[in-house]
Amino acid sequence: MKVIGWKGFWLFSTVVVWIAGCSSDPNPSTSEGKTSGESVQVDAAQAKETYQSNCMSCHGDQLQGAQGPSLEKVGAKFSSKEIETIIQRGRGSMPAQVSLNPEERKNLAGWLAEKK
């Protein structure tokens, strides 16, 4: 087995630090981040309509959960931005909601984030 020497050690260390810094989420979630003071203008009527058309079949008519988890207090667990990302990309068995445009996703996420 060959010893890599100091140059190899420093190169390896640099690569490891660089990879660790390449997180896909530049602001990892913490419990403090859930109340980030985000200001999202929410059209509640539009958000409810979007919810009824796209989410209600899995999350229930009162956000109580059914096939999907309850969303009654989702805003206590996730920020508006985190909820928007989940809507956009999906999570677990929930598929990405590709039929929603960015404004609909943002409005729905803001409305859900108010549920604490």
Token reading at 19: 């990879």
Domain that holds residue 56: 42-116
The Cα-based distances of 79 to 4, 12, 25, 27 in angstroms read 46, 36, 14, 12
Look at residue 15 in the predicted model and tell me its pLDDT.
64
Residue 17, in any domain of the structure: no
Q: How confident is the model at residue 17 (pLDDT cuts 50, 70, 90)?
A: low
| 22 found inside a domain | no
Higher pLDDT, 65 or 35: 65
CA-based radius of gyration for the chain: 20
1 a known binding residue?
A: no
Token code pair at residue 18? 């660089």
pTM (2 decimals)? Answer: 0.67
| Mean pLDDT within 71-87 | 98
Domain of 94, CATH number, reads 1.10.760.10
Q: Which residues pair with 91 in a beta bridge?
A: 94
Q: Annotation-wise, does 22 bind a ligand?
A: no
CA distance 12 to 18: 10
Residue keyed to tokens 């909820």: 83
